Amino acid sequence: MRALQGLRGPRAPALPLFLLCFLAAVRRSLEDGLSTAAPFTSLPVQEEITTKYSNLSSESHNISVTAAPYTSLPVQEEMMTKYSNLSLESHNISMTEQSNMPVEKNITLERPSNVELTCQFTTSGDLNSVNVTWKKGDKLLEDNYLVNATGSILYTQYRVAVIGSKQMGSYSCFFGEKKQHRGTFNLKVPEINGKNKPLITYVGDSVVLMCKCQDCLPLNWTWYGVNGSVQVPIGVPVNDKYVISGKHANETRLKITQLSEDDQGTYWCHAIFELGESEGHVELVVLSYLVPLKAFCAIVAEVVLLVTAILLFEMYTQKKKKPSGDGKEFEQGEQMKLDDSNGIENSGPRHRKNESVGQ
């Protein structure tokens, strides 16, 4: 990127200078991995890259509270025009001198875009004495960032064109030397949701395992089963047992038929994005039919036992009153039966006795 600095604003040069520049351009374009070297009527590199990335989307996230004016570095402008078709994502972290905790922000990126990371630091002391550094992971970044001070707030901004998985990761801004305040932006691919609870199925059944991505559209999905500790791809030689399908682009379904106890375990679904891979998992448990059947039989046995006990008890108490005789005096017999069977409590009102017996 730095090499492009020299290409700014070519005037009508003299011939040797022209040749020199031409050679430089060729070298740089080769460095950039481009094969053609166009004449100097337009910046060849830019056109090349613009057409190359012309199909990319634009993403703009603007969370920053204030927009501080920047004196733009030539590098930044080059990059912006180079990847002008990419979207711009702006993310902001605020820190104060008092806060000691490192601040983190998670950024989900699905497709290539330009990312603008801004850290703002509020301090009462001298802003110019605060040392500002940026790091990607542990590696110190030396360019592509700006520092600006407005009032009592120090702003620093780092811009990067994220076009592949190499540019993903953690970017941190550091304020200060001795007492460092740190803000981290974690650039990640979208997360996949599998299932947190195990799916319970039975031998001989079929089951559908599903992985879903909330607001993203992966390029492709793949499924892996676990054999021991190794992930083994499944569904690739298309067979009857495993069928991969998906109603929408943001979900994938794996249908497994003819389950057996060997199919038990964890299944991983991988979602492939331009910027990397993301995975989710679903756990499958295969039980045999005997497991609930035992519980069912236990309950049925308990019910049968109770019902027979209750009915036997009733027959027994009825037998005790049998000699009271049947016939016309049903009511009296009934009351005697009640007397016997309700040994517990017989406070029931008998005020009907008089009239009912008179039948």
Partner 1 sequence: MPPPGGTPPLHPPPDGGWGWVVVGAAFISIGFSYAFPKAVTVFFKEIQLIFNTTYSEIAWISSTMLAVMYAGGPISSVLVNKYGSRPVVMVGGLLCCLGMVSASYSTNVVELYLTMGFICGIGLAFNLQPALTIVGKYFYKKRPVANGLAMAGSPVFLSTLAPFNQFLFNTYGWKGSFMILGGLLLNCCVAGSLMRPVEPKASTESKNKVGVRETDSSMKKRQKQLSVWEKINKYLDFSLFKHRGFLIYLSGNVIMFLGFFAPVIFLAPYAKDKGIDEYSAAFLLSVMAFVDMFARPSVGLIANSKLIRPRIQYFFSFAVMFTGVCHLLCPLAEDYTSLVVYAVFFGLGFGSVSSVLFETLMDLVGAQRFSSAVGLVTVVECCPVLLGPPLAGKLVDETGQYKYMYLACGAIVVIASVWLLIGNAINYRLLAREKKKNIHTKESQETEPLKTSQSPNVNIKSGETETWKGAEVNPSERETNI
Long-range contacts made by residues 28-35, C-beta under 8 angstroms, separation at least 24? 28/3, 28/4, 31/3
Q: How far is the CB of 270 from partner 1 (least distance, A)?
A: 21
The residue among 6 and 348 lying less far from partner 1, judged by its C-beta, is 348
- Phi (first) and psi of residue 38, to 5 degrees: -90, 160
The residue among 58 and 206 lying less far from partner 1, judged by its C-beta, is 206
The residue among 135 and 255 lying less far from partner 1, judged by its C-beta, is 255
The residue among 170 and 324 lying less far from partner 1, judged by its C-beta, is 324
Q: How far is the CB of 335 from partner 1 (least distance, A)?
A: 8
The residue among 55 and 347 lying less far from partner 1, judged by its C-beta, is 347
Total number of residues shown for the chain: 359
The residue among 39 and 358 lying less far from partner 1, judged by its C-beta, is 358
**CA-CA distance, 172 to 161, in Å (whole number)?**
16
**CA-CA distance, 255 to 245, in Å (whole number)?**
8
Q: How far is the CB of 317 from partner 1 (least distance, A)?
A: 10
The residue among 139 and 351 lying less far from partner 1, judged by its C-beta, is 351
- Contact between residue 80 and residue 60 where contact means Cβ atoms under 8 Å apart: no
Q: How far is the CB of 238 from partner 1 (least distance, A)?
A: 21
**CA-CA distance, 277 to 189, in Å (whole number)?**
7
The strand order across the sheet containing 265-273 reads 199-202, 276-287, 265-273, 220-227, 230-234
Give the amino acid at 95.
M
**CA-CA distance, 29 to 48, in Å (whole number)?**
10
Give the amino acid at 22.
F
Give the footprint of partner 1 on this chain (CB under 8 A). 197, 199-202, 205, 207-208, 210, 285, 287, 291-293, 295-296, 298-300, 303, 306-307, 310-311, 314, 318, 326, 330-331, 333-334, 337-338, 341-342, 344-356, 358-359
Q: How far is the CB of 301 from partner 1 (least distance, A)?
A: 10
From 319, 308, 357, 309, select the one nearest 341 (Cα to Cα).
Answer: 319
Q: How far is the CB of 169 from partner 1 (least distance, A)?
A: 33
The residue among 126 and 326 lying less far from partner 1, judged by its C-beta, is 326
Q: What is the DSSP string of 63-81?
A: --SS-------HHHHHHHH
**CA-CA distance, 115 to 137, in Å (whole number)?**
16
Q: How far is the CB of 171 from partner 1 (least distance, A)?
A: 33
Q: What is the DSSP string of 13-31?
A: --HHHHHHHHHHHHHHHHH
Work out the burial of residue 186: count CB atoms within 10 Å of its CB; fewer than 13 is exposed, 13-18 middle, 19 or more buried: middle
| CA–CA–CA angle 330, 331, 335 (5° rounding) | 115
The residue among 61 and 195 lying less far from partner 1, judged by its C-beta, is 195
Q: How far is the CB of 101 from partner 1 (least distance, A)?
A: 26
Q: How far is the CB of 189 from partner 1 (least distance, A)?
A: 25
